[in-house]
């Protein structure tokens, strides 16, 4: 995308949707617009030839939006129409051939419009009526609101761009000065303050992000081996004593000049650390790393520490590690691999030019292997040591920001007036319970208290009276589930199936335990009422 923006003249804006390129041109006359577009298409053709891409200029076209009426049935005005606001905060691009409409928002009013669209989609997808309270909707579906969703997308995109600053110029176009975007191409992205806020919350400097590297091909390195399940001592099914004996048999089979290295990482709520041990000298290296990093990243950095400091001579080296996940990732590297794994692979490739051979060997954890236990104890002690690396994995930084965003959504629910009324939603997670579509709609409406009872229909002015047809009292949830004699037989069946005497409305709605049983019996009760 950056290459495409580079070839466009100043003052032109480019929008890319999948394999479609849309160019927004501002010029006094239509002929000038045509000339600019033709010049841009010719430059794009040259660029696409370099990248071996196909472009179809015959399918290109332009639209003078000043002569286009606003579409009926779509709640956003088009550029140039009389109903379009003069503010630059709201833009809408429209192409008649592809029927794609997008909205760019920088204001609270714009975000509110998008939030309304999102809420309507969620209500439709999950079968909830329009009177469902919005905070309850988001809580049941475990979803985030539009501002926080935008934060997630911005953080994920720009952390990845900063990690790839060697191959993309997007990160160079962003500065944190005045929390603004300095480059004119990105001046409409509301992410400067967002980046600054989240990086401060997780105590991260963007320069500390592990950079992306091209995946290594191990076929070109004949002196490198990864062993995960080839040795008998790597079988976790054996007794720890048997594994320990098999390992020492393997160790004795090695020639005396082999250098044995061991690595480990540890992490708790207050810190993270890595360690590397040269068992042949013996010497050790240890130090803390940023707490944001996961154990996976810590294990990778521990191997980087060992290889970069100990693999320096033309000898045979064997590195023992607990991390099966890191070894498996190294075996199957690609551009989507974690950045810490690509960084480790780059370190290994450099070391292979110095050493005679290098083997990465998986060793089962905590079975009494002396080298591993030594590295483990050094890693635990290293959490209070000075920082040895300031590297942070982009994936871990994104995950930490996502946790903050999820916490912010939880805090919003806690401030809502529905939090104390809908106490059964605190631990509810619909993904843990599999429903059929019909049962899902009933359960979601039951939990959100949005089934069409007379009190709700009356409040929405859909009926003339809120009273129950039998009892002539307001048909509330308590009346419907616990009191109304019309459903006494169904209520007795529900009571006997759930084993709850007397019935409690809050207990029935709490799916933190017996969720599948409750959902089945509640659906049967609702269906037997012939109301829903």
- In this prediction, residue 352 carries a pLDDT of 95
CATH number where 246 lies: 3.30.420.10
* 206-228 as b/e: b if 16+ CB within 10 A: bebbbbbbebbebeeeeebebee
Q: Please say which residue of 46, 63, 80 terminates a domain.
A: 63
- In this prediction, residue 94 carries a pLDDT of 36
98 vs 322 pLDDT, higher one: 322
- In this prediction, residue 437 carries a pLDDT of 77
Degrees to nearest 5, angle at CA 521 with 520 and 526: 100
Q: Which of 65-69, 122-126, 191-195, 367-371 has the highest mean pLDDT?
A: 367-371
Identify the bridge partners of residue 387 per DSSP, sorted by sequence position.
288
Among 339, 344, 290, 300, which residue's Cα sits nearest to residue 322?
A: 300
443 and 519 in contact (C-beta within 8 Å)?
yes
- In this prediction, residue 28 carries a pLDDT of 76
- Least trusted range by pLDDT, from 253-257, 352-356, 493-497: 493-497
Tell me whether residue 68 is in a domain: no
Tell me whether residue 110 is in a domain: no
DSSP at 220: G
Tell me whether residue 245 is in a domain: yes
Q: Give every CB contact of residue 487 below 8 A, 6+ residues apart in sequence.
A: 480, 525, 528, 529
Q: Does residue 178 have a pLDDT over 70?
A: no
Do 298 and 373 belong to one domain?
yes
107 vs 523 pLDDT, higher one: 523
Q: Does residue 523 have a pLDDT over 50?
A: yes
Q: How confident is the model at residue 71 (pLDDT cuts 50, 70, 90)?
A: very low
Q: Give every CB contact of residue 480 below 8 A, 6+ residues apart in sequence.
A: 453, 468, 487, 529
69 vs 34 pLDDT, higher one: 34
Tell me whether residue 8 is in a domain: yes
- In this prediction, residue 10 carries a pLDDT of 65
Do 400 and 463 belong to one domain?
no
- In this prediction, residue 40 carries a pLDDT of 76
Do 356 and 464 belong to one domain?
no
DSSP at 464: S
pLDDT digits (tens, 9 = 90+) for 383-437: 889 999 999 999 999 999 999 998 988 898 999 999 888 888 887 777 766 777 7
The distance in angstroms from the start CA to the end CA of the chain is 51
Give burial (CB, 10 Å; 0-12/13-18/19+) of 252.
exposed
Tell me whether residue 70 is in a domain: no
Tell me whether residue 198 is in a domain: yes
What's the mean per-residue pLDDT of the chain?
A: 80
Q: What is the pTM of this model?
A: 0.71
Mean pLDDT of 257-264: 95
The helix, strand and coil proportions of the chain, stated in percent and rounded to the nearest 5, come to 50, 10, 40
- In this prediction, residue 61 carries a pLDDT of 53
* 331-353 as b/e: b if 16+ CB within 10 A: eebeeebbbbbbbbbbbbbebbe
Q: How confident is the model at residue 64 (pLDDT cuts 50, 70, 90)?
A: low
Q: Give every CB contact of residue 137 below 8 A, 6+ residues apart in sequence.
A: 119, 122, 123, 128, 143, 448
Among 453, 212, 247, 214, which residue's Cα sits nearest to residue 368?
A: 247
Q: How confident is the model at residue 141 (pLDDT cuts 50, 70, 90)?
A: confident
190 vs 149 pLDDT, higher one: 149
Q: Which two tokens stand for residue 78?
A: 């088009």
167 and 212 in contact (C-beta within 8 Å)?
yes
Q: Which of 30-39, 71-80, 260-269, 461-470 has the highest mean pLDDT?
A: 260-269
Q: How confident is the model at residue 304 (pLDDT cuts 50, 70, 90)?
A: very high
Do 19 and 148 belong to one domain?
no
**Domain range for 244:** 224-391
Q: Please say which residue of 340, 367, 391 terminates a domain.
A: 391
Do 421 and 473 belong to one domain?
no
- Alpha-helix runs per DSSP H in 94-170: 108-125, 134-141, 146-163
Q: Which of 20-24, 275-279, 458-462 has the highest mean pLDDT?
A: 275-279
- In this prediction, residue 528 carries a pLDDT of 84
Mean pLDDT of 249-264: 93
Q: Which of 49-58, 127-136, 279-288, 441-450 has the highest mean pLDDT?
A: 279-288
Q: Give every CB contact of residue 282 below 8 A, 6+ residues apart in sequence.
A: none
Q: How many structural domains comprise the chain? A: 4
Q: Which two tokens stand for residue 63?
A: 């639209």
- In this prediction, residue 187 carries a pLDDT of 42
- In this prediction, residue 321 carries a pLDDT of 95
Do 422 and 513 belong to one domain?
no
Tell me whether residue 348 is in a domain: yes
- In this prediction, residue 193 carries a pLDDT of 64
Do 349 and 281 belong to one domain?
yes
- Alpha-helix runs per DSSP H in 202-359: 240-252, 295-310, 324-331, 339-352
Give burial (CB, 10 Å; 0-12/13-18/19+) of 372.
buried
Do 381 and 408 belong to one domain?
no
- In this prediction, residue 486 carries a pLDDT of 87
Do 421 and 440 belong to one domain?
no
Q: How confident is the model at residue 186 (pLDDT cuts 50, 70, 90)?
A: very low
Please give the radius of gyration of the chain, using alpha carbons only, rounded to the nearest integer: 31
**Rounded distance between C-alpha atoms, residue 36 and residue 26, angstroms:** 9
Tell me whether residue 80 is in a domain: no
Q: How confident is the model at residue 169 (pLDDT cuts 50, 70, 90)?
A: low
Q: Which two tokens stand for residue 321?
A: 């590690």
- Least trusted range by pLDDT, from 110-114, 451-455, 460-464: 110-114
**Rounded distance between C-alpha atoms, residue 130 and residue 284, angstroms:** 64
Q: Please say which residue of 427, 453, 472 terminates a domain.
A: 427
Identify the bridge partners of residue 93 per DSSP, sorted by sequence position.
102
Do 177 and 203 belong to one domain?
yes
Do 397 and 348 belong to one domain?
no
Q: Does residue 324 have a pLDDT over 80?
A: yes
Q: Which two tokens stand for residue 518?
A: 């409750």
Q: Does residue 313 have a pLDDT over 90?
A: yes
HSE toward the beta carbon, residue 326, CA cutoff 13 A:
30
- What are the Cα distances from residue 171, in Å, to 115, 156, 195, 209, 362? 29, 13, 12, 12, 37
Do 195 and 264 belong to one domain?
no
């Amino acid at each position: 995308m950056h290459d495409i923006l580079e070839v466009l003249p100043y003052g032109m804006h480019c929008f890319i949707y999948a394999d479609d390129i849309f160019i927004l041109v501002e010029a006094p006359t239509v002929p000038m617009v045509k000339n600019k577009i033709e010049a841009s298409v010719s430059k794009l053709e040259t660029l696409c030839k370099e990248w071996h891409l196909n472009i179809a200029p015959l399918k290109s076209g332009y639209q003078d939006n000043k002569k286009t009426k606003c579409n009926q049935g779509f709640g956003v005005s088009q550029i140039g129409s009389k109903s379009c606001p003069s503010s630059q905060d709201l833009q809408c691009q429209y192409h008649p051939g592809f029927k794609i409409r997008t909205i760019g928002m920088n204001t609270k009013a714009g975000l509110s419009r998008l939030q309304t669209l999102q809420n309507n989609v969620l209500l439709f997808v999950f079968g909830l009526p329009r009177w469902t309270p919005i905070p309850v909707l988001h809580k049941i579906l475990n979803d985030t609101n539009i501002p926080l969703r935008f934060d997630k997308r911005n953080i994920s995109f720009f952390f990845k761009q900063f990690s790839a600053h060697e191959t993309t110029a997007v990160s160079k176009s962003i500065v944190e000065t005045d929390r603004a975007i300095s480059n004119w191409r990105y001046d409409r992205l509301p992410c400067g303050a967002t980046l600054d806020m989240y990086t401060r919350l997780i105590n991260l400097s963007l320069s500390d992000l592990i950079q992306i590297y091209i995946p290594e091909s191990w076929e070109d390195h004949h002196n490198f081996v990864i062993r995960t399940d080839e040795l008998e001592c790597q079988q976790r099914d054996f007794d720890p004593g048997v594994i320990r004996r098999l390992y020492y048999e393997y160790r004795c089979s090695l020639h005396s000049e082999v250098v044995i290295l061991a690595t480990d990482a540890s992490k708790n709520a207050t810190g993270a650390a890595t360690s590397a041990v040269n068992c042949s000298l013996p010497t050790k290296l240890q130090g803390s790393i940023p707490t944001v990093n996961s154990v996976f990243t810590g294990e990778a950095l521990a191997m980087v520490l060992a290889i970069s400091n100990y693999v320096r001579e033309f000898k045979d080296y064997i590195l023992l590690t607990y991390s099966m996940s890191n070894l498996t990732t190294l075996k199957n590297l690609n551009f989507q691999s974690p950045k810490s794994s690509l960084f480790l692979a780059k370190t290994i490739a450099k070391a292979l030019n110095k050493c005679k051979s290098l083997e990465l060997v998986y060793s089962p954890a905590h079975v009494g292997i002396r080298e591993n236990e030594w590295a483990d104890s050094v890693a635990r002690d290293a959490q209070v040591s000075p920082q040895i690396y300031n590297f942070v994995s982009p994936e871990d930084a994104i995950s930490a920001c996502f946790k903050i965003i999820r916490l912010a959504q939880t805090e919003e629910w806690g401030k809502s007036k529905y939090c104390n009324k809908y106490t059964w939603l605190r631990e509810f997670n619909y993904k843990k319970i599999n429903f059929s579509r019909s049962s899902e709609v009933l359960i979601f409406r039951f939990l959100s208290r949005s089934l069409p009872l007379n009190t709700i229909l009356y409040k929405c002015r859909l009926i003339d009276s809120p009273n129950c047809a039998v009892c002539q009292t307001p048909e509330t949830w308590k009346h419907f589930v616990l009191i109304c004699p019309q459903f006494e037989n169904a209520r007795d069946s529900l009571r006997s199936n759930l084993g709850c005497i007397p019935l409690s409305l809050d207990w029935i709605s709490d799916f933190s335990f017996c969720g599948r049983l409750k959902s089945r019996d509640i659906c049967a009760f609702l269906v037997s009422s012939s109301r829903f």
